[in-house]
């Protein structure tokens, strides 16, 4: 039977709307900041990954402009075909030094770092063992590989459950390579992966470890260099992924590890091989972000002070922050309809905080995900709390 594309799209969109899964982005009309103008309204923004406020930092803006003046606005080609400018190279050297690794390869996003690296390092004789709450970009990267990975085949471990991970590792000795992959900080719950135990199990069962530090970069460890530093596991995590688009404020992703890993990905990482290099101003701005982060810890300290203040305030007011250990602070609601309603009511009270519902999280575990960052003032956080309490009083207890 032939399906008309437009009819099919119409039906699918209706179905999304019917199931409360339809998304329409709100439009930011001001730079990323603690308070922003969005869809014509001034709101406190609790949904930004701009953890350190670098996205609109005056020195970073200046560095981006200087880069445009020196190198123009485009690289003109894929990295290996002549699109690698010396400023791209300098950025990789700066990241490698910050992460204390041999070498780094930058991709155009965190998402493409996963889809570039994971399939490149695995063959059909290998297995990937994943935490059940890993990010969508890890899942897609794993799906692109020819390794075994499926939950239905028993290769996905219950969230942070080290006994379950060990049980799976015991069954995987016949594979050529075993890769354990985990988020460093889980993006919907804000908890930190038990990396020391993961590394120990990997060493015991001759597996290797890849950690996705998208939400740990700029947040955890020495000068925000991630979970490997946070847990002092230098040299024991084989592949570290980070994004340059959250705490680092611009855009991009990287794979950090050995010199040979970089050489291999230059030859086999498909998004690197077949997609144009970042504009040089991205690299210039990022080099400045790394300098600011390593100059002193003031932005990281401010991020953590605000995160503690916000979490303590919510908890004192009786909200459940679901055991979050990092600035990602979910506010548990449970019911999907109530969470969607709460998001709308918070918006009316001048707070932008997104509801996260199934299928992003399990059914019945809907939440409002809040992300205090270094740009928020105490006054903004206090006003946001007043809005949360007011909305809860209207909605009834959850």
Sheet holding 253-257, edge to edge: 103-107, 253-257, 239-243, 208-212, 178-183, 127-131, 156-157
The arrangement of strands across the sheet holding 351-352 comes to: 35-38, 41-45, 351-352
Q: Tokens in use for 283?
A: 């690299």
47 binds ligand PLP (CB under 6 A): no
Binding-site member from 50, 137, 228, 329 for ligand PLP (CB under 6 A): 137
State the catalytic residue, choosing from 47, 109, 115, 187.
187
Cβ 350 to ligand PLP shortest distance, Å:
25
* Backbone CA torsion sign across 89, 94, 98, 100: positive
Reported as type and span, the H/E element at residue 315 is: helix 298-316
Interatomic CA distance for residues 229 and 213, integer angstroms: 11
C-alpha–C-alpha distance, residues 139 and 265, integer Å: 19
Residue 228 as a binder of ligand PLP (CB under 6 A): the answer is: no
70 noted as active-site residue: no
Q: Is 212 in the site for ligand PLP (CB under 6 A)?
A: yes
**Cβ 212 to ligand PLP, closest distance in Å?**
5
Tell whether residue 215 is a contact of ligand PLP (CB under 6 A): yes
Any contact of residue 110 with ligand PLP (CB under 6 A)? yes
Cα separations in angstroms, 264 against 89, 171, 245, 267: 17, 29, 24, 5
Q: Which of 126, 183, 191, 238 binds ligand PLP (CB under 6 A)?
A: 183
- 215 belongs to the catalytic site: yes
> Would you count residue 111 as binding ligand PLP (CB under 6 A)?
yes
CB of 213 to ligand PLP, least distance (A): 8
Torsion of CA 24, 29, 34, 35, to 10 degrees: -100
Residues contacting residue 261 through CB under 8 Å, at least 6 positions apart: 103, 105, 121, 238, 239, 255
Stretch that binds ligand PLP, among 17-25, 98-106, 163-171, 212-220 (CB under 6 A): 212-220
135 lies in the binding site for ligand PLP (CB under 6 A): yes
Q: Which of 48, 109, 145, 313 touches ligand PLP (CB under 6 A)?
A: 109
State which residue, 131 or 349, has the beta carbon closest to ligand PLP. 131
Give the list of residues 6+ apart from residue 131 with CB closer than 8 angstroms, or none. 156, 157, 159, 160, 181, 182, 183, 186, 193
If one asks whether residue 249 binds ligand PLP (CB under 6 A), the answer comes out as no
Using rule CB under 6 A, residue 245 touches ligand PLP: yes
* Cβ atoms of 173 and 205 closer than 8 Å: yes
Work out the number of other CB atoms within 10 angstroms of the CB of residue 390: 14
Count residues binding ligand PLP (CB under 6 A).
13
In the complex, residue closest to ligand PLP by CB:
110
C-beta pairs of 310-314 under 8 Å, 24+ apart in sequence: 310/370, 310/372, 310/376, 310/381, 310/384, 310/385, 313/381, 313/382, 313/385, 314/370, 314/385, 314/388
CB of 337 to ligand PLP, least distance (A): 25
Complex with ligand PLP: residue 215 or 262, whichever CB lies closer: 215
Specify the stretch interacting with ligand PLP by CB under 6 A; choose among 209-217, 265-273, 363-371, 373-381. Answer: 209-217
Q: Which is nearer to ligand PLP, 91 or 172 (CB)?
A: 91
Q: Binding residue for ligand PLP (CB under 6 A) from 48, 67, 130, 187?
A: 187
- What minimum distance in Å lies between the beta carbon of 168 and ligand PLP? 21
The residue (of 187 and 329) whose beta carbon lies closer to ligand PLP is 187
Rg (CA), the chain: 22
Q: Which lies closer to ligand PLP via its Cβ, residue 282 or residue 368?
A: 282
| Residues 50-69: x where in contact with ligand PLP by CB under 6 A, - otherwise, as a string | --------------------
Angstrom distance (rounded) from CA 324 to CA 307: 10
Binding of ligand PLP at residue 214 (CB under 6 A)?
Answer: yes
Active site residues: 187, 215, 246
Q: Under the rule (CB under 6 A), what is the footprint of ligand PLP? A: 109-111, 135, 137, 183, 187, 212, 214-215, 243, 245, 253
């Amino acid at each position: 039977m032939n399906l008309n594309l437009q009819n099919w799209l119409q039906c699918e969109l209706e179905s999304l709307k019917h199931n409360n899964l339809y998304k329409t982005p709100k439009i930011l009309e001001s730079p990323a900041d603690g308070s922003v103008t969005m869809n014509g309204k001034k709101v406190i923004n609790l949904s930004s990954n701009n953890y350190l406020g670098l996205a609109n930092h005056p020195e970073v803006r200046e560095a981006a402009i200087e880069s445009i003046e020196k190198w123009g606005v485009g690289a003109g080609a894929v990295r290996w075909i002549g699109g690698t400018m010396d400023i791209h190279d300098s950025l990789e050297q700066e990241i490698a030094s910050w992460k204390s690794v041999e070498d780094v390869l930058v991709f155009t996003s965190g998402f493409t770092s996963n889809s570039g690296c994971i399939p490149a390092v695995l063959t059909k004789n290998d297995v990937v063992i994943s935490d059940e709450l890993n990010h969508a970009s890890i899942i897609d990267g794993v799906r692109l590989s020819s390794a075994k990975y499926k939950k239905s085949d028993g290769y996905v471990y219950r969230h942070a459950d080290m006994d379950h991970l060990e049980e799976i590792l015991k069954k995987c000795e016949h594979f050529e390579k075993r890769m354990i992959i985990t988020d460093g900080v889980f993006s919907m719950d804000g908890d930190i992966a038990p990396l020391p135990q993961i590394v120990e199990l990997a060493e015991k069962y001759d597996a290797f470890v890849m950690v996705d530090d998208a939400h740990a970069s700029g947040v955890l460890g020495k000068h925000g260099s991630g979970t490997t530093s946070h847990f002092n596991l230098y040299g024991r995590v084989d592949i570290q992924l980070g994004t340059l688009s959250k705490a680092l404020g611009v855009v991009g992703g990287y794979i950090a590890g050995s010199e040979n890993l970089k050489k291999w990905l230059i030859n086999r990482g498909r998004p690197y091989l077949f997609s144009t290099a970042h504009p040089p101003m991205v690299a210039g701005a990022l080099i400045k972000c790394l300098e600011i982060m390593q100059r002193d810890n003031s932005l990281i300290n401010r991020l953590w002070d605000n995160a503690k203040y916000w979490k303590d305030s919510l908890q004192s007011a009786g909200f459940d922050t679901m055991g979050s250990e990092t600035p990602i602070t979910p506010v548990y609601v449970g019911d999907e309809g109530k969470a969607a309603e709460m998001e709308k009511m918070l918006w009316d009270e001048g707070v932008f905080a997104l509801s996260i519902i199934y299928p992003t999280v399990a059914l019945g575990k809907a939440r409002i995900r809040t992300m205090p960052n270094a740009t928020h003032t105490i006054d903004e956080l206090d006003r946001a709390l007043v809005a949360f309490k007011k909305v809860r009083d209207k909605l009834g207890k959850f």
